[in-house]
């Protein structure tokens, strides 16, 4: 009975996704790749793909650097106000997105790439911090003490001992940060400006107008593929650490 219930839950969750992916490969004549070919012929899709990828990569890089340094500081020096890093995770994303929008309006900050980038980074840093902090808490402090005793300074110890030992957690955090930025819609929709679109925004714009075409299925499948790949890599890496 329990197995049947679990199987039913998984079917309910993943059957719509499976349908979208399958529908992107068929038309009235049968199997086809023309819907994917149409995507790569659309300048708007290519630009949106570039915007999404650029945002995800830059946001991930900044978030990993800031989150890792913050996690190291709080773990090693027992700094206070740690709860501030959990706030972006706890509060509803739409609340944070609206707050960013009001803040940008107050500062007359130009809306576009940089406003979206700041929003994604502010959200991702918290996830990087939590993951890397768990990794830093997991290995023995005696290894760092041994490095310091043998003559290395704190910077050398961090670069040659702490950082390599923390790398599995840092890579896992980077995968999560990339995924969160890649398929983010709410924060992007609230903080974007005229002429700047990402793939999730294009998907929403077409779906909101009731335009559920095979090309939209293909676009959604590509976005899902990247997200699922990052999630798979994260799970595999987590099991090895």
Q: Is 236 domain-assigned?
A: yes
Q: What's the pLDDT at 113?
A: 93
Structural domain of residue 49, as residue ranges? 33-240
Helix, strand, or coil (residue 184):
coil
What single-letter DSSP state applies at residue 92? -
| Segment 149-175, tens digit of pLDDT | 777 777 777 777 777 888 888 888 998
Tokens of 73: 């500081």
List of long-range contacts for 66-70, beta carbons under 8 Å, 24+ apart: 66/121, 66/125, 66/128, 67/124, 67/125, 67/126, 67/127, 67/128, 67/129, 67/131, 67/132, 67/173, 67/177, 68/128, 68/132, 68/166, 68/170, 68/173, 70/125, 70/129
Residue 71 parent element (H or E): helix 43-77
**210: region left, alpha or beta (phi > 0 left; psi from -120 to 50 alpha):** left
Distances (CA, A) of 40 to 46, 121, 202: 7, 29, 14
The CA-based dihedral angle spanning residues 36, 40, 41, 42, taken in that order and rounded to the nearest 10 degrees: 100
- N residues, the chain: 241
Confidence of residue 12 (pLDDT cuts 50, 70, 90): confident
Q: Is 188 domain-assigned?
A: yes
Q: Is 28 domain-assigned?
A: no
pTM equals 0.83
- List Cβ neighbours of 157 (8 Å cut-off, separation of 6 or more): 144, 147, 148
Phi/psi for 27 (5° steps) reads -135, -165
| Segment 46-77, tens digit of pLDDT | 898 899 999 999 999 999 999 998 888 888 77
| Segment 85-119, tens digit of pLDDT | 788 888 888 898 999 999 999 999 999 999 999 99
Residue 27 parent element (H or E): strand 26-27
Q: Which of 27-31, 142-146, 173-177 is predicted most confidently?
A: 173-177
Report the number of distinct structural domains present in the chain.
1
Q: Is 5 domain-assigned?
A: no
Instruction: Name the E strands within the chain.
Output: 26-27, 30-31
CATH assignment at residue 112: 1.10.3720.10
Q: Is 192 domain-assigned?
A: yes
- First vs last Cα of the chain: how many Å apart? 34
Q: Is the pLDDT of residue 140 over 80?
A: no
Q: Is 180 domain-assigned?
A: yes
Q: Is 147 domain-assigned?
A: yes
Q: Is the pLDDT of residue 206 over 90?
A: no
Query: How far is Cα 96 from Cα 80, in angstroms, rounded to an integer?
Result: 23
If one counts every other C-beta atom within 10 angstroms of the C-beta of residue 127, the result is 19
Q: Is 21 domain-assigned?
A: no
């Amino acid at each position: 009975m329990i197995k049947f219930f679990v199987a039913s839950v998984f079917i309910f969750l993943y059957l719509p996704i499976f349908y979208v992916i399958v529908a992107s490969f068929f038309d009235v004549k049968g199997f086809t790749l023309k819907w994917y070919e149409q995507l790569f012929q659309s300048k708007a899709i290519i630009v949106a793909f570039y915007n999404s990828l650029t945002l995800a990569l830059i946001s991930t890089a900044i978030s990993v650097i800031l989150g890792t340094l913050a996690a190291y500081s709080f773990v090693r020096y027992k700094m206070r106000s740690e709860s501030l890093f959990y706030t972006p995770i706890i509060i509803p994303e739409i609340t944070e997105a609206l707050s960013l929008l009001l803040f940008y309006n107050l500062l007359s900050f130009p809306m576009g790439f940089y406003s979206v980038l700041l929003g994604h980074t502010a959200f991702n840093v918290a996830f990087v911090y939590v993951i890397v902090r768990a990794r830093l808490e997991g290995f023995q402090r005696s290894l760092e003490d041994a490095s310091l005793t043998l003559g290395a300074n704190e910077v050398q110890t961090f670069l040659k001992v702490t950082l390599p030992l923390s790398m599995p957690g840092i890579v896992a955090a980077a995968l999560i940060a990339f995924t969160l930025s890649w398929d983010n819609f709410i924060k992007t929709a609230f903080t974007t400006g005229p002429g700047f679109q990402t793939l999730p925004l294009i998907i929403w714009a077409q779906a909101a107008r009731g335009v559920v075409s095979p090309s939209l299925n293909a676009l959604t499948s590509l976005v899902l593929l990247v997200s699922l790949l990052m999630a798979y890599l994260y799970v595999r890496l987590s099991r090895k650490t």
